[in-house]
């Protein structure tokens, strides 16, 4: 499992997918999220604007990323 460090209070799901290199474009992120291919904390999430914070995990196509909050 990879870790992504964020320096803000939260990051939106679509932005995280791009930041982590899991997708190349926002359009691709939107489509995958709408199709129910993305899981947040083990559950399918279809909200592109879902706010993610430290401790959350995101899984797409077998790749899982854990979000860590910068101190």
Q: Are strands 63-69 and 2-6 parallel, antiparallel or unpaired?
A: parallel
Q: Is 54 exposed, middle or buried (0-12, 13-18, 19+ CB in 10 A)?
A: middle
pLDDT of residue 9: 95
Residue 51 near residue 37, CB atoms below 8 Å: no
One pLDDT digit (tens) per residue for the chain, 71 residues: 899 999 999 999 999 999 999 999 999 999 999 999 999 999 999 999 999 999 999 999 999 999 999 97
Token output for 37: 């291919």
């Amino acid at each position: 499992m990879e870790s992504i460090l964020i320096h803000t209070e939260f990051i939106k799901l679509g932005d995280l997918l791009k930041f982590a290199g899991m997708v190349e474009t926002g359009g691709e992120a939107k489509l995958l999220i709408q199709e129910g291919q993305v899981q947040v904390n083990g559950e399918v999430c279809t909200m592109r604007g879902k706010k993610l914070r430290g401790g959350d995990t995101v899984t797409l196509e077998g790749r899982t990323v854990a979000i860590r909050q910068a101190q």
